[in-house]
Every structure is written in structure tokens, then in C-alpha cells.
Amino acid sequence: MEIGISFWIGFVVFVVIMLSLDLFVFHKKDAEVKIKEALLWSLFWIVLAFLFNVGVWALLGKQKAVEFLTGYLIEESLSIDNLFVFILIFSFFKIEAKYQHKVLFWGIIGAIIMRAVFIFAGVALIEKFNWIMYVFGGFLVYTGIKMLFDKQEESDFNPDKNFLVRMFRKFLHDTHDMSIPRFFVKKNGLYYATPFFVALLFIEISDLIFAVDSIPAVLSVSKDVFIVYTSNIFAILGLRSLFFALNGVMSYFYYLKYALAGILSFIGIKMCFNELAAEIADQFPILMGSSGHPYHISNFVSLSIIVLFITVSILFSIAHNKKEEQQ
């Protein structure tokens, strides 16, 4: 079955309805999101994603369903690293817990729009220039290695040094007044951006940087724009709940960074290997696999390795934390 305009319209309507319910019904009042509530919401979004995956299997087939699930897990696992950045942003700007959901909500809206631009542009580039796969793959390997050896401390985090934030402050006045929980306040006839808006701006910047890693990673799984976009959006929709659910225990994921570095490096290698194998098979058909297709690293293998990396990192983190408690 072909993915027609009706699929896109249906998905966009679904996202709009869910976001409207989230903001205007379930979280219309500023309140701190408790861990129990966040866990239930996280479970809700995960179940929705898996139900959607079942629908993809029924309508589009097993291959598309595997692509969606792999892309979703890649995005979800890489999103955890972004949660650390959110914690630092809220801490730096002293955003109270009861206002964090609102800031994240509007951050998600911006992320949804940016992902659409990135994904359509990425697919268009790949279709026009096959060699871009090597660029994406090499960049992911570089990012994974850089993440592995990155020694940046939390104390080094300072949004005031960011170029875009400095440019923003040249064109718009900002205030440190947080007495009114709004993005802008009016004083003496002028509008001033509050720390809430500057925090939102930095969340958008961090997601933009994060998308540079995650979008090529998901494009290694599928070139189908609908599959790539929907898997991304489902992961993003559950990101806020995941943030509040894991906020209190993020320090326990001691080895998570190494798992994410391994995932990015593996996906980068996979992109380069699969593209090279396809090109060689085109030149030398005798090297085709027994199935009549070029040798490649399958999405099932990718899915298994991603799950393995995350599982091992969690188990080692638990062992590390127990050892520290004993000491």
C-alpha cells in the first residue's frame, strides 16, 4: 500500500489533538509533574507508539514496521542524552518544576517543525547525492568518538556564551524578572523576554544540534519520509514525560554516555558499509547475496545491537552504583 496524503493528514490531525489535550485539558494549570504521573504518561506514549507500529505492520507490511520500530528506538535512546541538557538549562535559568512542563511543551512544538524540515531535506539530499550517506555516516562515527572522550563538566555549561543567545539579546530586551510565568512581559511600553523564553530558546537550539545527530541516524534505517518522521515525532511526544520520569535518577545512568557513543558509531559504520556494499554489487552482480540483494547490515541487526547497548549500559550502571554505595 502506498503512503498517500490521507496518511499525512491523519497523522497531523492526531498530533494536533494529542498536543491540545495535553496543554488545555491535562496540564492547563502550572503544576509540578510527579514521578508517578510522568511514568504513567511515558507508558501511555510508548503504548501509542507500539499501537501505531501495529497499524504500520497491518497497512504497510513487516518491513516498514521494523523500520519504524528501529527508528523509534534510535530516536528514543538518543533523546535520553538530550534530557541531561534540559536539566542543565532549567537549573541554570532557575525554572521552577511547576513551570518546566510548559516550557518543554512549546519546545516540542518547535522540534516538530524543525524535524520536518531536516527530514525532508535529508531525504532529498540522499536521493540526489548518494555520496551524502558517507558524509552522514562519517559524521555519526566522529560524533560517537567525540562523545566517548568528552570530559565537559556541568559547571562548564553557560548559555550566556552561546552565539545565538547573544545575538538574540542584541535585538530584543530581556529581563531577569520571573515573578510572572510568561515568555514576555510588558514594562514601560516595551516587551521584555523573560528567562522562561531564553530557556525555551536554548532548548530549541539544543534540539537543533541534537537533530543533526539523530536525523542521519534514523535515515540509516529508512528513506521513507513518513516512517522517519512519524518515528521521530512519537519519540519527541514522549520526551517530556520521560524527562520528568527520569529527572530524579539521571545521575544513576553512569555508563549511558558510552552506550550512546557506541550506537552513533555503529549506525555511522552501518550507513557507510551498506552504501559501499550496494555500489559494489551494482558493479559486480556476482557479489550479490543469496537473496538476490546486496550484502548489508539489516535493520533487525541494528535493532538488536541498539537494545544490547542500552541494556548493557543499564546493567553496568546498576553495578557501578551498588559498588559506590558499598564504598
Q: What is the average per-residue pLDDT within 8-25? A: 82
Q: What is the average per-residue pLDDT within 224-232? A: 88
Q: What is the average per-residue pLDDT within 23-44? A: 75
Which region among 119-123, 232-236, 292-296 has the lowest average model confidence (pLDDT)? 292-296
Going from the C-alpha of 34 to that of each of 45, 241, 289, 326, the distances in angstroms are 17, 10, 52, 29
Query: Does 233 score more than 80 pLDDT?
Result: yes
| Neighbour-count burial of 288, counting CB atoms closer than 10 A to its CB (0-12 exposed, 13-18 middle, 19+ buried) | middle
What are the residue ranges of helices labelled H in the chain?
Answer: 5-21, 35-60, 62-92, 97-128, 132-149, 163-171, 195-219, 225-237, 239-246, 256-283, 299-326
Which position has the grid cell 524578572? 177
Which position has the grid cell 554505595? 325
Q: How confident is the model at residue 263 (pLDDT cuts 50, 70, 90)?
A: confident
C-alpha cell at 318: 546498576
Q: What is the average per-residue pLDDT within 5-16? A: 85
pLDDT in tens, 154-180: 555 565 666 666 676 666 777 777 777
Q: What is the pLDDT of residue 161?
A: 64
CB atoms inside a 10 Å sphere around CB 216: 25
State the residue range of the domain holding 107: 5-326
Q: Is residue 223 classed as helix, strand or coil in its secondary structure?
A: coil
Whole-angstrom Cα distance, residue 34 to residue 297? 41
Q: How confident is the model at residue 19 (pLDDT cuts 50, 70, 90)?
A: confident
pLDDT in tens, 238-253: 887 877 777 666 666 7
The answer to whether residues 234 and 49 touch, using CB atoms and an 8 Å cutoff, is yes
For 26-136, list the strands marked E by DSSP.
Answer: none
- Tally of domains in the chain: 1
Closest CA to 181 of 101, 109, 244: 101
Average pLDDT along the chain: 77
Q: What is the pLDDT of residue 52?
A: 92
The amino acid that residue 121 corresponds to is A
